[in-house]
Chain A
């Protein structure tokens, strides 16, 4: 993941360090230098927890100090966060809510009902802890040339990347004309609202429309879920705005339908938050995305190994019965069933053995 960072750092290594890197593998070197400073690593991006800020009852901002391998991000992107929970490393992606160029980065984590990692971060993470980060990713970013007029529609924690983008847009053009439709169940769910209002104080071009699906407390706020008529009410010139929507699937689908109806699809950018994986019925087909091969193939094969072979790939395999581990590879996303143990695995970035894994949803594999 941090290949760029590692290549850059090895270029600048002196001959002594280069010899060391040949003699000892990176894990060994990481182990040695972590005794000097637990943040040090040859290739991995580690970060120290600097502070916490409770944004809402179930949203926590975490300020992180990354090491020299952190390659930066664009506003709107997320960062994969890896934490060790009971001996197992779990990875989840969280939106970065700080501005680029700062020495620290801030992520804002909404506690998910039953969510392993978000709950762990809320309950167990301590100041001074070291966690590992991946490289920032995601296509949900501002265009290279900032449009004159922007519309953001955010639902719940979908505000986190949107907040970053609004702040970046105003930083590059303080006069930018921005409308934000901010949807939440109730007032307690309005993450980062105080920071948004501080931006509004400074920038006359920013308008914020709160839309509460629960009980309304202030007359200027709107009630209920997204409707085209409601949007027309707070943003009459939607046709002239580049639109960015982020939130739960229901909100995004409503906005997509609205824009499609007006022929505005080309100016709509979207990012799904909290989309549950579609579990396939027995015998039905599932989509498998092969990242390294650049292939996407529907399959109804019983195992992912057979699916890959049917798709014309030649993944390494040995025993075809879950013993030798030759066919194990990283499952980036999706739900699979282990045919030997029956265990269901729905976490991203786990190692699975293809020969005994049955796809239960769309699955993305790193082969």
Chain B
């Protein structure tokens, strides 16, 4: 029995599969992916172009309304529109396009390798930390940096340190400043005090990040307020609020995707010589879905189907809903736990995790045995 099977046998709500079952499981998911990609085309192209238009029109509308922001309803409506624009730009458009989900369109404005989004996190750093590290090594201990972002302790397998007593405060700060802290993620600042990284390296890597930070800061907090002239303040506060709304929303969605109650992590040793079926299995074990309305799906960038997103990161996300029906059916047949629940419930378990692992907990004995 390999380390891979062993680890799941002991800690999971899912049944242990034989190697042959894992291969068959993977083949079914491959076939599902293919059946969807075979009829991806005009519908998805029209859809994503409309999403792109929505982002732009809501941005124009929001910023225009904020120019009249001394009038409270205009400020509210403008801030709400701008928040929607920023959230959709970030999630349904940016995140999904940067995965290469729409590369088949050959549209240079929707190209996964060149697309840039309206957040301070540089697109190139994101493609590395998210597309490569997080998606290839989902919930692998010490490799998937998204486990706590080097800041939080979220799983018992992470070694406790006194700094984790501040877990709740750190998590709140992370939520409020999410786009800024995400921009710094690739620097892996937690390696500095341990001497695993030099200040000179960090300084060099920080240059492109600083450039993007300056650009976005200037746009939201200098340029548009100045253009508004006497309405400087409502524009400034509107932009600040819209960015805050997006920070809180993206933080919540992302944390609910991987750090809910039943989410599992696995040690690095277990993924050596991982087969495609095992890779699929790990994506399911490490991800959790949020059940909600179609509007909720849209505003989460379809990350409410986090499991499907992790199984099929390059399939247009708008197809995840229909795929989820089949994925659940396949999971049920193979006895695999399909972690899904409403946002309020899943978020509550995330908060519980943040609180619980701020205190020292022993590594589960059965995990140590593996």
Residues of A within 8 A of B (CB): 19, 22-23, 25, 27-28, 30-32, 84, 86-91, 318-319, 321-326, 328-329, 340-341, 349-351, 353
Contact = CB atoms under 8 A, between A and B. Distances in A.
Contacts of B314: 322-323, 325
A90 B215 CA distance: 34
Give the top 5 A-B pairs by smallest Cβ distance, nearest first. A87-B45, A318-B132, A325-B100, A89-B106, A87-B42
Given A86-B42, A87-B46, A326 B132 contact: yes
B215 to A, nearest CB: 7
B135 A23 contact: no
Given A23-B223, A87-B41, A326 B127 contact: yes
Contacts of B46: 87
Contacts of B100: 325, 328, 351, 353
Nearest to B112: A325
A350 B116 CA distance: 20
A359 B112 CA distance: 22
B136 interface: yes
11 contacts: A23-B218, A25-B116, A32-B60, A89-B107, A91-B106, A318-B132, A324-B127, A325-B103, A340-B30, A349-B106, A351-B100
Nearest to A31: B56
Contacts of B44: 87
Interface residues of B, number: 40
Given A23-B219, A88-B104, 13 more contacts: A25-B116, A31-B56, A32-B56, A86-B45, A87-B44, A319-B132, A321-B276, A323-B131, A323-B135, A325-B100, A325-B103, A326-B131, A351-B111
Contact of A88 (B53, B106, B215): B106
Given A25-B116, A325-B99, A325-B112, A319 B136 contact: yes
A329 B113 CA distance: 8
A86 B37 contact: no
Contacts of B12: none
Contact of A90 (B60, B106, B223): B106
Chain A contact residues: over half helix, strand or loop, or mixed?
Answer: mixed
Of the listed residues B99, B105, B219, the one surrounded by the most CB atoms of chain A closer than 10 A to its CB is B105
B313 interface: yes
Given A23-B215, A326-B132, A341-B37, A88 B113 contact: no
Nearest to B48: A87
Nearest to A318: B132
A328 B41 contact: no
B103 A88 contact: no
B34 interface: yes
Contact of A328 (B43, B113, B136): B113
A72 B4 CA distance: 61
B22 to A, nearest CB: 16
Interface string B321-364: 00000000000000000000000000000000000000000000
B109 interface: yes
B218 to A, nearest CB: 7
A324 B76 CA distance: 39
Interface in B82-128: 99-100, 103-109, 111-113, 116, 127-128
A92 B245 CA distance: 45
B105 A88 contact: yes
Contacts of A87: 41-46, 105
Contact of B34 (A27, A32, A322, A341): A341
A350 B104 CA distance: 8
Nearest to A353: B100
Interface string B122-152: 0000011001100110000000000000000
A31 B127 CA distance: 25
Contacts of A28: 56
Contacts of A351: 100, 103-104, 106, 111-113
A318 B152 CA distance: 26
A212 to B, nearest CB: 40
